[in-house]
Amino acid sequence: MVKLSVIVPFYNVQTYAPDTLRSLRANARDDFEFLLVDDCSTDGTPEILRQAEREVPGAVLIRHERNGGLATARNTGLDAARGEYLAFLDGDDWLAPGHFAGLLAAMEDLGCDFVRTDHVQCTARARTVHRVPVGPRGEVLRPRDWILPADRSTGVDYPYAWAGMYHRRLVDRGLLHFTDGLRTAEDRPWIWRLHRDAESFAVVGRLGIFYRRGVASSLTQIGDVRQLDFLRAFDQVLAETAQDPEAERLLPKAVRTYCAVIAHHLGGIGRFEPAVARKLRTLSAAALRSMPQPALREALASMDADRAARLRRVRRRPSARTTEAAA
């Protein structure tokens, strides 16, 4: 019987994959499986993974015939997973030895739907600890209670799928899959769904995940049109939260977070290709106008002056339909 399935997507990470795979070997156990999903890499990653399938205990290689993105690759792994528990790792990150065994023991002891963990962000030689923005540790909590308040960092603002472990019952309830095809911010609808619809979770104080920041191939470093998928992701968050019985209470948080992310991208608009920058402004304007306006006004009033002004300026931008009508 497989106790734990670990889903690890890879795409053109030949420089970093050996570190990731060594850390998996240091976490191997007879009842663990590691699902290595090659998302149609075009560099040396496929050969590295073929060798890992032979050498890493529990490794199973799955190859996409065409690139589908991180969300789709994770879903492929979820569909193949046999474990009672599930976890994620990205193909350029790594783990401390024995991390998964310790996290699994904590989760079995707690008996909750999922657990969340802190992580170490690694940028070149710098190391920074990032904590789950939830106060109680080692205590079973109700996920919905940790969505608010709107103006503070909460559980839904820590969306990293790899920073935790999840019981199979979440798959059976349709809560663990990602929105297929999302190229960025794929974890935002996912974490909101978990916090709205799962029954229990806990935060476990373990520092065993090392997240590599600033990888050149990462979408966070690339200014092409795939970055704009964050708009689709947050539109989904708003649409699904609007159907929640507590929509009136929860929507201000979703709106404020969406606004903060739009402001962040507008603030760094110079890194985008010119056509993508224009599309970012146009789509952001449409998103702001489509939000619940009382919640938007509340969000803008609570933000610092620079971000609020940036959002108000883009909200006044003519929509594509208005521009066409004027022509």
Distances (CA, A) of 161 to 62, 86, 124: 20, 11, 22
Give the whole-angstrom CA distance, residue 38 versus residue 11. 6
List the Cα angle 86/228/117 in 5-degree steps: 30
Q: What is the dihedral of CA 317, 322, 323, 325, to 10 degrees?
A: -170
Position 322 scores a pLDDT of 43
Position 194 scores a pLDDT of 98
Cβ atoms of residues 225 and 274 within 8 Å: no
> In the chain, where do the E strands start and end?
4-10, 32-38, 59-63, 85-88, 94-95, 114-117, 119-123, 126-130, 164-167, 201-204, 209-212
Position 50 scores a pLDDT of 98
Domains of the chain: which residue ranges?
Answer: 4-218, 223-326
**How does strand 85-88 pair with strand 4-10?**
parallel
What residues have CB less than 8 Å from 44, skipping those under 6 apart?
14
Alpha helices in 111-246 (DSSP H): 168-172, 187-197, 229-242
What residues have CB less than 8 Å from 207, skipping those under 6 apart?
96, 117, 118, 119, 120, 129
Q: Is 142 exposed, middle or buried (0-12, 13-18, 19+ CB in 10 A)?
A: exposed
**How does strand 119-123 pair with strand 114-117?**
unpaired
Which contiguous run of DSSP H or E holds residue 294? helix 293-302
Give exposure, 228-247, as e/b (b: 16+ Cβ within 10 Å).
Answer: bbbbbbbbbbbebbeebeee
Using the structure block, give the residue that is written with the tokens 């960025």: 184
CATH C-level class of 4-218: alpha beta
What residues have CB less than 8 Å from 288, skipping those under 6 apart?
259, 262, 296, 311, 314, 315
- pTM for this structure? 0.93
Position 319 scores a pLDDT of 60
Position 216 scores a pLDDT of 54
pLDDT in tens, the chain (327 residues): 999 999 999 999 999 999 999 999 999 999 999 999 999 999 999 999 999 999 999 999 999 999 999 999 999 999 999 999 999 999 999 999 999 999 999 999 999 999 999 999 999 999 999 999 999 999 999 999 999 999 999 999 999 999 999 999 999 999 999 999 999 999 999 999 999 999 999 999 899 999 998 765 555 445 688 999 999 999 999 999 999 999 999 999 999 999 999 999 999 999 999 999 999 999 999 999 999 999 999 999 999 999 999 999 999 877 654 433 333
DSSP letter, residue 301: H
